[in-house]
């Protein structure tokens, strides 16, 4: 196999990490190691599991300077952003430790034997159990928070599932170093051998989806790669759930009243949101619906002005920069599209901010699909609308998305229908804010209808992310001492449970 190579996108330098990509046999062996760890790992106490997650957070923090430096050399992202992302990653691990300790995620439910109109019902006790070995595909754009030590890994470990993580080729050295933090934590906590595993290489990724011991996949990345792997997961002799978070164009609507009230503020903030992380966010606002007329003109002018002060930027990889170039060229090639900001980035590895404008009537055209697709990078398309009907038609022509943002004002008559449309066509509706921050919390939803996510009922951020890795099992008439502790009569884990229809939350 080929050596694993780390590339500095800023300088173009390559260096070998001194080991090879993994072949099928290594991947199968890793999943078998993980499967062998499953029963032991899954049966550890909730407190122990929470402790492992907290220890991983500590180990990441103790190596923070080195990790950030490595990540800078592989992503060209700024220091403050990467420091913040590492903080978020540690916070996320501790948050999932809290979710584990809380115990609600087990959904423990007990119905004692009783009579019913259908005759006697036996003692029935249901809980969620770990689904098995989870395969995790690290993303390109978040070397910590959505990669080796990221949300998929943290939530799978929280659920009681060993993980086999496929490193993203854009940051193999960061992946290896963050994996060492996972391994140190696993050793300190005496986790079963095989609880965490790391593999490298494109072929290793497909082998991970194919491996008989893989029970589910978490993926963050492009629509193309995601759908190819999703099909592969379905083509197995035993198909497995594939949770793909694939990104989207993230519509953002500015109402007429909002444009009238604060065109300049919204316009300049938009420039910041669409170029955050060089626009390499799955939540980047890519489609901005702005009213025609002077207020809208003023908003667009403010965006143009703010963008002019920015860039050029180094993108994560030359391949991503290539894609961005081709994507913006496809937009520019569509007739009636007006380029507003279109600087020359100066080099192939770089990108400059791009802003285009089109009328809503043109946006809905059959031949204008490129306008409605996600374009990953620092670009946006302004869609100018001249009536509510035009706006609605344009919104319905865009694809369902991860997020849907509305800038309006108090008592805005337009608020309600836009909220309803946004809730129907996205996973998160935002009022007077930009979609680019995805807070880790109990109530975050990061996942929307197809094609933004392969499973719209799931989230890859927030407490509910753990639900992806669980499968319910009911125990009927099982003697108390043979039941899992979560379902034993005395509630030894002190977790919230529904008993005979009534939830007992208090400890």
Please list the active-site residues.
245, 282
User: What is the full DSSP assignment across 91-106?
Assistant: HHHHHHHHHHHH-GGG
Residues 374-413 that bind its own copies (CB under 8 A): 410
Residues 95-114 that bind its own copies (CB under 8 A): 98, 102, 104, 107, 109-111
What's the min distance (Å) between Cβ of 183 and its own copies? 24
Contact (Cβ atoms closer than 8 angstroms) between residue 270 and residue 310: no
Residues 454-473 that bind its own copies (CB under 8 A): 454-457, 459, 462-464, 467, 470-473
- 88 touches its own copies by CB under 8 A: yes
Cα 38–chain centre separation? 25
SS3 of 128-176: the string is EEECCEEEEECCCCCCCCCCCCCHHHHHHHHHCCCEEEECCCCCHHHHH
What's the min distance (Å) between Cβ of 397 and its own copies? 14
Nearer Cβ to its own copies (104/488): 104
Nearer Cβ to its own copies (104/308): 104
Number of CB atoms found within 10 A of residue 347's CB: 12
Q: Which residues pair with 147 in a beta bridge?
A: none
Contact (Cβ atoms closer than 8 angstroms) between residue 465 and residue 136: no
Residues 252-271 that bind its own copies (CB under 8 A): none
Span from 70-78, 259-267, 299-307, 440-448 in contact with its own copies (CB under 8 A):
440-448
Cα 392–chain centre separation? 28
x-or-dash pattern for its own copies, window 127-166, by CB under 8 A? --x-x-----------------------------------
Rounded to 5 degrees, φ, ψ at 389 are -65, -45
- 369 touches its own copies by CB under 8 A: no
The angle subtended at Cα 321 by Cα 334 and Cα 145, nearest 5°, is: 120
- 171 touches its own copies by CB under 8 A: no
Using CB under 8 A, pick the residue from 12, 293, 437, 492 that binds its own copies: 437
What's the min distance (Å) between Cβ of 88 and its own copies? 5
Which run of H or of E encompasses 404? strand 401-407
d(CA 348, CA 236): 39
Span from 149-157, 176-184, 244-252, 445-453 in contact with its own copies (CB under 8 A):
445-453
Q: How many residues bind its own copies (CB under 8 A)?
A: 80
Residues 284-323 that bind its own copies (CB under 8 A): none
What's the min distance (Å) between Cβ of 119 and its own copies? 8
d(CA 469, CA 216): 7
């Amino acid at each position: 196999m080929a050596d694993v190579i780390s590339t500095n996108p800023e300088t173009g330098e390559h260096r070998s990490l001194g080991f090879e990509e993994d072949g099928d046999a290594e991947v199968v062996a890793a999943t078998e190691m993980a499967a062998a760890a499953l029963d032991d790992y899954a049966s550890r106490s909730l407190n122990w599991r929470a402790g492992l997650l907290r220890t991983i957070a500590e180990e990441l923090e103790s190596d923070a300077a080195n990790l950030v430096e490595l990540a800078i050399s592989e992503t060209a992202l700024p220091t403050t952003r990467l420091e913040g992302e590492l903080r978020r990653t540690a916070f996320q691990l501790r948050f999932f430790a809290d979710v584990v300790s809380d115990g609600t995620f087990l959904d423990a439910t007990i119905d004692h034997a009783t009579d019913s109109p259908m005759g006697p019902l036996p003692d029935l006790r249901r809980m969620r159990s770990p689904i098995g070995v989870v395969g995790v595909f690290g993303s390109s754009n978040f070397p910590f928070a959505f990669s080796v030590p990221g949300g998929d890994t943290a939530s799978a470990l929280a659920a009681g599932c060993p993980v086999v993580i496929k490193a993203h080729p854009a940051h193999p050295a960061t992946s290896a170093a963050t994996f060492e933090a996972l391994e140190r934590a696993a050793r300190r906590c005496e986790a079963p051998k095989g609880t965490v595993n790391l593999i490298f290489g494109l072929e290793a990724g497909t082998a991970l989806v194919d491996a008989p011991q893989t029970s589910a996949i978490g993926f963050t990345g492009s629509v193309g790669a995601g759908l190819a792997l999703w099909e592969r997961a379905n083509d197995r002799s035993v198909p497995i759930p594939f949770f793909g978070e694939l990104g989207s164009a993230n519509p953002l609507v500015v109402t007429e009243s909002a444009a009238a009230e604060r065109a300049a503020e919204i316009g300049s903030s938009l420039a910041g949101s669409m170029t955050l992380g060089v626009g390499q966010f799955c939540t980047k606002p890519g489609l901005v619906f702005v009213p025609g007329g002077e207020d809208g003109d003023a908003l667009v002018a403010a965006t143009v002005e703010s963008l002019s002060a920015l860039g050029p930027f180094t993108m994560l990889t030359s391949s991503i920069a290539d894609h961005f170039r081709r994507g913006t060229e496809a937009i520019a090639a569509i007739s009636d599209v007006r380029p507003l900001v279109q600087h020359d980035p100066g080099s192939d590895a770089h990108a400059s901010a791009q802003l285009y404008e089109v009328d809503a009537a043109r946006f809905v055209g059959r031949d204008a699909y490129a306008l409605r697709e996600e374009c990953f990078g620092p670009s946006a398309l302004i869609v100018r609308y001249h009536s509510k009907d035009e706006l609605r038609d344009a919104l319905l022509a865009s694809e369902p998305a991860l997020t849907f943002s509305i800038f309006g004002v108090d008592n805005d008559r337009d608020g309600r229908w836009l909220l309803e449309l946004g809730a129907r066509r996205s996973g998160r509706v935002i009022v007077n804010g930009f979609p680019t921050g995805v807070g880790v919390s109990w109530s975050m939803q990061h996942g929307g209808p197809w094609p933004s996510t392969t499973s719209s009922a799931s989230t890859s951020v927030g407490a509910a992310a753990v639900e992806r890795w669980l499968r319910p099992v009911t125990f009927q008439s099982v003697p108390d001492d043979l039941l899992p502790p979560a379902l034993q009569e005395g509630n030894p884990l002190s977790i919230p449970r529904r008993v005979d229809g009534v939830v007992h939350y208090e400890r």
